[in-house]
Chain A
Amino acid sequence: MSLRARIDRLVPPEKRQELGDQLQKFASTALDRHVRLAVTGLSQSGKTVFITSLLDHLLSARDSNGLPFFSLCNEDRLLGVKLLPSQGGQEFPFRESMDQLNASPTQWPASTDKLSSIRLAIRYRPGSKVQRMVSETATLYLDIIDYPGEWLLDLPMLQQNFNSWSQQQYRLMAQEPRQSMAKSWLNGAAELDGEAPADQSQITEFSAQYRGLLQGFRRHEQRLSLLQPGRFILPGNLEGSELLQFFPLVKTNSEASQEGSLYAQLEQRFEDYKQQVVEEFYRNHFCHFDRQVVLIDCLKTLNNGRACFDDMQEAVAGILQSFQYGQSGLLRRLFKPRIDRVLFASTKADHVTANQHHNLEQFLELIIQQARRDIQFEGLETRCMAIASYRATGAAEAEVDGQVLSCLKGFRKQNHEPVVLFPGEVPTALPQDKDWSGQRFRFVDFAPPDLKKVRDTPASHIRMDQAIQYLLGDKLR
């Protein structure tokens, strides 16, 4: 019997193929050729547009001057970029997003309501001598997933039990503007007896009301962000499932609840939700990241006021606690990757004038203060940057009452009418209560730019090249 046949008998060919693939994957992870980028952000913070812009700019990077601060383009080492089919699951709708941006009139890509992923292969010539000895070209695979930002808020629940979660929810509902909206629900919930036997119709009714309440908070003029559980707002494929039928209830006495009681039933549902929804989401998609970009819409908080600011600060701090940070050595990268670099980006920087970008970055630092401190404690590199995935406005100047004002000109998102706007100055310190005035800021939503005009120039974005350089630059040496 030949050696070949013997091997074939020991390991069947199809198994060998699989094994080979596994080994290759293992090797590419070990050689640092695989980056999983976590694009994190609450809903409406611009995740989908960021991913679209990232892909769009990288795909056209080789023949354009659009990324002057991306060293791979600077040094002429980029050989090509290609989209690969995603590894199982829904594919990120890149073409659809681009079509929407290129439509006439232009529109922003629709907000995400399901999970999707995409993989990008970046082929380049290594700059370092040692790597070039191995091969003349190298390929970096970049994995990105897109998901509804609402679901992200479920992650902090993993570290809570039903009691502490309920207490947190009640604490939140004791504050304005939640309090006045939740009044009747709170009154109803106060009459519930946790020790009484569970009544299914009652649970359904209260859950539905609680769900309506969360949706109300979201629509409220303060645009609150800390809304748990996330699937109550965007159920995905869980619509109508029993997993979504629970609500917070604070225990009145310290004894253990009896089986079959309302409290025990809710607790069970909460744990089920955690295990079957949140943990699965986390395990499959959220614990293998190498790099992270946290997108935050600072202008939303400035437009909406103090409550929105506080809420977002707490939400961001909670979310970031669920990620694993730390220095990532060779072994760790193989078995348990950790995020070793974080970029905090204030999106929609094109909605303020260019001289305010630095202020915007400082304001962003205020929002992420707590979360950032924890990350830096792990010895990680972080940076704040004001970016715009696509630049929707142009600079202009106007004279008002003898004073020259730097303005923005663009087109209104709703009706594509031309707008000229002095949006106000971004404060670098947290404004006093009296300063959260309706007159101070007016950040208008602009329609996307006509991409044909700015294609392949740095004017199509703001600092996307620096963001890419920061997130991937050291992996592409």
Chain B
Amino acid sequence: MSGDEKQRQDWQPAIELNPEQLRDLPNTEEAAVEQVDSGEDKKDTDKSEKNAGLSRIFVAISALLVKLIIIVECYRLVSWGYQQHWSLGTLLSLLIVSVLVMAIVLALRALKGMRQLRRRQPLQQRASQMIASNQYKQAAPLLDEMAEQLKGTALVVPLQQCINEVDSVYRDGEVIRFVSNHGFVEADRKAIDKISRCSFDTAALVAVSPFASFDILLAAWRNWRMLNSIADCYGIAPGIAGQWRLLRQVLHNLAFVGLSELAIDNSGTLLTGSVTGQLTARIGQGLGAGLVTARIGLEAVKLCRPLPFDEGNKPKLSQIQSSLLKELKSKF
């Protein structure tokens, strides 16, 4: 076939080849490592930051003022100590330095958790876009980025194993669904376990506690603990800042986003209403508190999980609800 002809047609003719012409297939894992090293897509660009300019300046100025005051006070304290006796001054300055170091360590840890959490959302978004994609062999960068985010956690080993098992004929959507289904089995199980345990604890506590206001505190405390351990399940470092952010997102989703899901879930709750009616009022209250806890937990799982759940594989409130009811009835 002449060169002209080749250019005119937009398809490549079928050919049979000699087995010697084959090259070795590039190892996908090696390619993956290279991709991580090149370090693309690492900058987090947060566009909403621009809007918050004014309040930012205000916060910065007040923080600066507070810092100045603290420094001045610390200096005055230390110098007062030295005026009394040199040993008192040394003790005070040691105390201040150690407090400072601790604060810095805590702040770094908290920031790490927050950064990890913040990086989950774009990852999830890209993954859900890719699930609908029919392209082929474009999923590697996303998986690499995920592996990089989870580096150093217990999730990496099963994930890597799962990525190695990905079949060569899967297209991108199938790759993501496969990894989502099989790469986080252990973490999902742990998280769901924690949620059902915690929702039972809350339910039982509320059922036996005699004070209403105390109930709220107890439930809040249990939920706070639960969020922490769920984040830990999915490789997010525990820390006050991350947890605060998680709680805010969870509450936001519960209040605004998850309304339709709530309606669906509630149909299940209504179904068992006749069963709840047979329980005492106290246990009923406990059950309510337990269900709220479970809902918060599931929402947190959705936010912390590196990949979104595959359709049909989502953990449902009704699953937790039935076991909760069973346990409550057996214990009380």
Chain A interfacial positions (CB closer than 8 Å to B)? 65, 68-69, 71, 74, 129, 349, 354-355, 357-358, 391, 395-400, 404-405, 407, 409, 418-425, 427, 435, 437, 439-444, 458-459, 462, 466, 473
Per-position binary interface string of chain B over residues 167-192, scored 1 when its CB falls under 8 Å from any chain A CB and 0 otherwise = 11111001001100110000000000
Q: Would you list 20 pairs from A and B whose C-beta atoms are within 8 A, ordered by A residue? A: A65-B165, A68-B178, A69-B177, A354-B170, A399-B21, A399-B23, A409-B19, A420-B18, A420-B21, A422-B12, A422-B14, A422-B15, A422-B17, A424-B13, A435-B11, A439-B14, A442-B14, A458-B167, A466-B174, A473-B312
Residue of B nearest to A466 (CB): B174
Contacts of B9 in A (CB 8 A): 435
Known: A74-B181, A421-B14. A396 touches B25 (CB 8 A): yes
Minimum CB–CB distance from B137 to chain A (whole Å) comes to 7
Contact B16 A419 (CB under 8 A): yes
In the bound complex, do residue B14 and residue A398 qualify as a contact, i.e. CB atoms below 8 Å apart?
no
A205 to B169, CA, bound (A): 53
**A31 vs B50: C-alpha distance in the bound complex, in angstroms?**
59
Q: Check B16–A442 contact: CB distance below 8 A.
A: yes
- Compute how far the CA of A409 lies from the CA of B312 in the bound complex, rounded to whole angstroms: 36
B16 A462 Cβ-Cβ under 8 A: no
- A residues in contact with B134, CB < 8 Å: 358
The verdict on B278 contacting chain A, using a C-beta distance below 8 Å, is no
Majority SS at the chain A contact face: mixed
Smallest beta-carbon distance A355→chain B, Å: 4
A-chain residues with CB within 8 Å of residue B84 when the two chains form the complex: none
Q: Does B80 contact A (CB under 8 A)?
A: no
Given A421-B17, A439-B14, also A396-B22 (CB < 8 A): yes
Pick from B134, B165, B169 the residue with the most CB of A within 10 Å.
Answer: B169
> In which size bucket is the chain B interface?
20 to 34
B-chain residues with CB within 8 Å of residue A395 when the two chains form the complex:
25, 168-169
* A357-B171, A407-B22, A425-B11 as given contacts; A420 in contact with B322, CB under 8 Å: no
- A357 — which chain B residues lie within 8 A by C-beta? 136, 169, 171
Q: Is the CB of A424 within 8 A of B25?
A: no
Report A-chain residues with C-beta under 8 Å of the C-beta of B276: none
Q: Does B51 contact A (CB under 8 A)?
A: no
Residue of A nearest to B268 (CB): A129
Q: Which chain A positions have C-beta within 8 A of B13?
A: 424, 437, 439-440
- In B211-249, the 8 Å CB interface with A consists of none
Whether the Cβ atoms of A442 and B15 lie closer than 8 Å is yes
B274 within 8 Å of A by Cβ?
no
Give complex CA distance A436, B48 in Å.
54
Residues in chain B near residue A69, CB distance under 8 A: 174, 177-178, 181
CB distance from B212 to the nearest CB of A (A): 31
Interface residue B318 (Cβ < 8 Å from any Cβ of A) = yes
Query: Is B313 interfacial (CB 8 A cutoff)?
Result: yes
Q: Are B11 and A459 in contact (CB under 8 A)?
A: no
B14 touches A354 (CB 8 A): no
Nearest CB in chain A: distance from B139 CB, A: 13
In the bound complex, residues from chain A placing their C-beta under 8 Å from that of B181 are 68-69, 74
Q: Nearest Cβ in chain B — how far from A94, in angstroms? A: 26
**A354 partner residues in chain B, CB cutoff 8 A:** 136, 168-171
- A397 to B16 Cα, complex, angstroms: 12
Contact A398–B11 (Cβ < 8 Å): no
Which residue of B17, B19, B312 is within 8 Å of A400 (Cβ)?
A: B17
Q: What residues of B have a CB within 8 angstroms of the CB of A418 in the complex?
A: 19
A-B interface contact total, Cβ < 8 Å: 99
- Determine if A423 and B25 form an interchain contact, defined as CB atoms under 8 angstroms apart: no
Contacts of B12 in A (CB 8 A): 405, 422, 424-425
The 7 A-B residue pairs whose C-beta atoms are closest, nearest first, are A424-B14, A442-B14, A354-B169, A358-B134, A355-B136, A439-B13, A420-B17
- Complex interface: chain A residues within 8 A of B170 (CB): 354
A422 / chain B contacts, CB cutoff of 8 Å: 12, 14-17
A427→B12 CA distance, assembly (Å): 11
Most interface-central of B17, B23, B178 (chain A CB within 10 A): B17
What is the chain B residue whose CB lies nearest that of A386? B169
Q: Distance (Å) between the CB of A423 and the closest chain B CB? A: 5
A400 touches B15 (CB 8 A): yes
CA distance A391 to B318 in the complex (A): 40
**Residue numbers in A under 8 Å from B318 (CB-CB):** 129
Encode B101-115 as 1/0 by CB contact (under 8 A) with A: 000000000000000
Residue pair B23, A398 in contact (C-beta under 8 Å): yes
List chain A residues, Cβ under 8 A from B174.
69, 466
Against A, the Cβ 8 Å flags (1 = close, 0 = not) of B290-330 are 00000000000000000000001100001100100000000
User: Which residues of chain B are within 8 angstroms of A399 by Cβ–Cβ distance?
Assistant: 21, 23
What is the distance, in angstroms, from B103's C-beta to the closest C-beta of chain A? Answer: 46
CB contacts (< 8 Å) of B165 on chain A: these are: 65, 458
Write out the residue numbers on chain B whose beta carbons fall within 8 Å of the beta carbon of A358.
134, 136, 171
Specify the chain A residue showing the minimal Cβ separation from B15. A422
Give the residue name and chain of the B residue nearest to A427 (CB): B11
Chain B residues near A355 (CB, 8 Å)? 136-137
Tell me the bound Cα distance from A407 to B12 in angstroms: 13
**In the assembly, what is the distance between CA of A462 and CA of B170, in Å?**
9
| Contact assessment for B25 and A441 in the assembled complex, using a CB-CB cutoff below 8 Å | no
The interface residues of chain B lying within 8 Å CB-to-CB of A427 are 11
Q: How far is the CA of A392 from the CA of B136 in the complex (A)?
A: 20
A129 touches B322 (CB 8 A): yes
Closest chain B residue to A355 by CB distance?
A: B136
Complex Cα distance A140/B103, Å?
61
Q: A358-B134, A440-B14 are in contact. Are A420 and B19 (CB under 8 A)?
A: yes
Given known contacts A129-B318, A397-B23, A398-B21, is B11 in contact with A420 (CB within 8 Å)?
Answer: no
